[in-house]
């Protein structure tokens, strides 16, 4: 049984505080199919989010599930299923893969044969058995809603909350979904609550909850709905609601609600209220629903490592199936090094030694010195520029790697987190997948430039610094993606971060001392550029570079430490961002 007792939800701060829900008190027994209706903005979806614990704002009152207060003992992931209005599934996966991954993320690992059988049973239950190999991207609206239901049923939840799952569907699809939900409420004592605007199938529901301006205007059997609101038919209900204010409807319902519903001996009995011309009441008893079987036992959830491996497997499959993303990555990996190498395609120029004045007069010495300085300046600038060009392009690849990674699938992640997905497993899966991209991008960049341009210095530490700067920007942008609400916002901010790398690194123009001290710790490009140049010690190019750059180079060890700090802080911030609960 689900009981909401005087539940109120406030949003805003200070003088702007206002209630979205006010004093909502309703009960739903086992094996119950309930509709939640009302005009737009009346609090229907908000009520579902309050039940699941993801509603923003400050709550009052209590929610009791099977005798326990969920504020003290929350729902287990296998107890509750939540189906939002819009389809939430990866477009690149098939129907069977979506359900299979959902099961592997929510149910303790099963051997492959048992998993396939369980997935097949769920697809059969929602009428999707014939579509198991079809990609999500080609499903119709009704099929997507069935898939969403299938993904929730993998853990056999005792309560299923559906938020306008029939919205936008054609009449036939709507009929199929409503009858499917009705059937699901008749199995395993499941409570099924459906937010809807449609009243076409009102007779199928065991009860109808009418919300208006955040208050309960009615909660009783559908057969007395029009009578209570004195409406000609169900379609006139919304017009009748406008006759009174929400406060007046709430007062009316508080007066009459005891006459409509009470619980006796494990059965739900409803008293239908009739009104004569003088306003007197009579209340014949009508049975709504027989006893339902007890809830199925909660299924044990998978461990953190199992979830991590499942997420990594899924992400890799999506990556290789997304041809546009794969083509972009290949273009970046192979194209960017070519851009860098064009500046020294035939190798770095050599710098002639000074003859130290032997056999030359003063004029010749000055001319030679001038030519040496000019040549050294060009070569030093070229070496420094090649390093910085590599570094900046790698930061750009890092931003492209992760700027959209979490924000683009935030709704999917929030939905899976509600079902028991650990944020740590999620971030770890992202980190490993992105780490593979970082290695491929950075290693190829370093190797290509080193051998094509004949770049001097020790290759191994140079590769380390290139990997670290890419990983640092990837981690920071992953954190950005975890905090922002849309993929477009996250992508834009990530590009801005890359844009600041070149001017604030000081590699091109030296920054004022006070500004360099303030901003340099946050500029990954500086630390990688400085670290790579430090690997040239012992090479003549190092002294030449020192002659032309105006920014001091930091020790290689410090560069490694700072870049590693960027990576750790970025991943930690991404984990913090994923802790937020914001399913909208």
Which has the minimum average pLDDT: 12-21, 31-40, 210-219? 12-21
- Picking from 26-40, 186-200, 374-388, 545-559, which range would have the lowest pLDDT averaged per residue? 374-388
| Placement of tokens 């920054």 in the chain | 511
Angle, CA of 405, 411 and 416, to the nearest 5°: 95
Cβ count near 397 (within 10 Å): 23
Question: Mean per-residue pLDDT for 501-524?
Answer: 86
Domain boundaries, the chain: 2-79+157-289, 86-156, 304-579
Lookup: tokens for 187: 């199995």
Q: What percent of the chain has pLDDT over 90?
A: 55
Q: Assign 299 a pLDDT band (cuts: 50, 70, 90).
A: low
Other Cβ atoms less than 10 A from the Cβ of 274: the count is 13
Reply yes or no on whether the pLDDT at 451 is more than 90: yes
Q: Which of 340-349, 505-514, 527-536 has the lowest mean pLDDT?
A: 505-514
What integer pLDDT is reported at residue 304 of this predicted model? 94
Cα–Cα distances (Å) from 11 to 19, 22, 89, 191, 581, in that order, read 6, 12, 30, 28, 15
Average pLDDT over residues 164-176: 88
Question: How many whole angstroms separate alpha carbon 50 and alpha carbon 52?
Answer: 5
Q: What is the mean pLDDT of residues 456-475?
A: 96
**Model pLDDT for residues 259-288, shown as the tens digit of each residue:** 765 433 333 434 444 443 333 333 333 333
Q: What is the mean pLDDT of residues 413-419?
A: 91
Q: Give me the pLDDT at residue 533, please.
A: 94
Neighbours of 322 (CB within 10 A): 15
| pLDDT at residue 89 greater than cutoff 80 | yes
311-339 confidence digits (pLDDT tens): 999 999 999 999 999 999 999 999 999 99
State the Cα–Cα distance between residues 468 and 561, nearest whole angstrom: 10
pLDDT at 378: 81
Q: How far apart are CA 329 and CA 333, in angstroms?
A: 6
Whether 234 has a pLDDT exceeding 80, the answer reads: no
Number of helical (H) and strand (E) elements in the chain, helices listed first = 20, 15
Q: Please report the pLDDT score of residue 560 as a whole number.
A: 97
Written out in words, the top-level CATH class of the domain with range 2-79+157-289 is alpha beta
**pLDDT value at residue 425:** 97
pLDDT at 294 over 50: no
CB 429 within 8 A of CB 311: yes
Q: Which of 246-260, 333-347, 461-475 has the lowest mean pLDDT?
A: 246-260
pLDDT band per the 50, 70, 90 thresholds, residue 298: low
Distance CA 522, CA 517 (A): 10
pLDDT over 90 (residue 582): no
For the ranges 20-24, 118-122, 512-516, the lowest mean pLDDT is seen at 512-516
58-81 residue pLDDT tens: 889 999 998 898 888 888 888 899
Mean of the per-residue pLDDT values of the chain: 86
Distance CA 61, CA 351 (A): 80
Stated as kind and residue range, the H or E segment containing 218 is: strand 215-220
Distance from C-alpha of 563 to C-alpha of 300, rounded to nearest angstrom: 40
Token duo for residue 363: 């004029």
111 CB contacts (<8 Å, ≥6 apart)?
Answer: none
Helix (H, G, I), strand (E, B) or coil at 264: strand
Query: Which pLDDT tens digit goes with each residue over 176-226?
Result: 999 999 999 988 889 999 999 888 888 899 999 999 999 999 999 988 888
Picking from 90-99, 227-236, 363-372, 559-568, which range would have the lowest pLDDT averaged per residue?
363-372
pLDDT at 473 over 60: yes
362's enclosing H/E stretch is: helix 362-402
Average pLDDT over residues 426-433: 98
pLDDT of 54: 83
Q: Which residue has the tokens 């546009």?
A: 324
pLDDT at 377 over 60: yes
**What pLDDT, on a 0 to 100 scale, did the predictor assign at position 443?**
97
Each residue's pLDDT tens digit, 398-414: 999 999 999 999 989 99
Range in 265-269, 456-460, 537-541, 557-561 the model is least confident about? 265-269
DSSP 461-493: HHHHHHHHHHHHHHHHHHHHHHHSSSHHHHHHH
- pLDDT recorded at residue 267: 38
């Amino acid at each position: 049984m689900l009981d909401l007792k005087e539940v109120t939800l406030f949003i805003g701060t200070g003088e702007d505080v206002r209630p979205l829900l006010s004093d909502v008190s309703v009960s739903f027994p086992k094996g119950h199919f309930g509709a939640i209706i009302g005009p737009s903005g009346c609090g229907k979806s908000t009520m579902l989010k309050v039940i699941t614990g993801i509603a923003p704002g400050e709550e009052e009152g209590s929610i009791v599930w099977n005798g326990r207060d969920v504020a003290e003992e929350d729902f287990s992931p296998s107890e509750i299923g939540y189906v939002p209005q819009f389809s939430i599934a990866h477009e690149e996966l098939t129907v069977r893969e979506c359900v299979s991954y959902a099961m592997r993320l929510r149910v303790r690992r099963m051997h492959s044969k048992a998993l396939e059988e369980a997935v097949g049973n769920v697809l059969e239950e929602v009428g999707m058995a014939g579509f198991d190999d079809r990609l999500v991207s080609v499903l119709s609206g009704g099929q997507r809603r069935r898939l969403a239901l299938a993904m929730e049923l993998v853990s056999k939840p005792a309560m299923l909350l559906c938020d306008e799952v029939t919205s936008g569907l054609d009449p036939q699809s709507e009929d199929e979904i409503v009858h499917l939900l009705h059937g699901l409420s008749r199995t395993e004592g499941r409570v099924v609550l459906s937010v809807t605007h449609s009243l076409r199938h009102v007779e199928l529901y065991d009860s109808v909850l009418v919300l208006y301006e955040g208050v309960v205007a009615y909660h009783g059997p559908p057969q007395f709905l029009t009578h209570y609101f004195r409406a000609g038919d169900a379609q006139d209900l919304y017009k009748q609601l406008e006759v009174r204010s929400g406060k007046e409807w709430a007062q009316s319902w508080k007066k009459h609600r005891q006459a409509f519903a009470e619980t006796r001996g494990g059965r739900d009995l409803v008293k239908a209220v009739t009104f004569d011309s003088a306003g007197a009441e009579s209340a014949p008893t009508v049975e709504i629903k027989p006893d339902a079987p007890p809830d199925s036992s909660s299924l044990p959830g998978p461990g953190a490592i199992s979830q991590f491996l499942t997420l990594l497997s899924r992400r890799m499959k999506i990556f290789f199936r997304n041809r546009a993303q794969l083509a972009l990555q290949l273009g970046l990996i192979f194209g960017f090094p070519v851009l860098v190498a064009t500046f020294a395609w035939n190798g770095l120029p050599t710098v002639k030694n000074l003859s130290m004045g032997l056999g030359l007069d003063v004029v010749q010495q000055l001319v030679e010195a001038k030519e040496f300085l000019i040549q050294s300046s060009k070569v030093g600038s070229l070496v420094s520029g090649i390093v910085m060009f590599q570094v900046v392009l790698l930061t750009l690849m890092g931003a492209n790697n992760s700027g959209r990674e979490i924000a683009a699938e935030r709704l999917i992640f929030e939905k899976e987190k509600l079902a028991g997905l650990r944020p740590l497993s999620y971030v770890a899966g992202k980190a490993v997948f992105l780490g593979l991209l970082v290695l491929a991008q950075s290693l190829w960049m370093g190797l290509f430039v080193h051998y094509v341009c004949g770049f001097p210095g020790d290759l191994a530490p140079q590769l380390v610094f290139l990997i670290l700067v890419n990983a640092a920007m990837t981690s920071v942008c992953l954190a950005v993606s975890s905090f922002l609400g849309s993929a477009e916002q996250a992508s834009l901010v990530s590009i801005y971060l890359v844009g600041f790398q070149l001017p604030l690194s000081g590699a091109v123009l030296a920054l004022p001392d006070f500004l360099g001290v303030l901003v340099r710790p946050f500029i990954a490009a500086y630390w990688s550029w400085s670290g790579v140049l430090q690997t040239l010690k012992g090479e003549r190019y190092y002294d030449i570079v020192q002659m032309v750059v105006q920014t001091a180079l930091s020790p290689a060890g410090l560069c490694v430490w700072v870049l590693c700090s960027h990576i750790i802080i970025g991943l930690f911030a991404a984990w913090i961002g994923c802790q937020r609960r914001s399913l909208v």
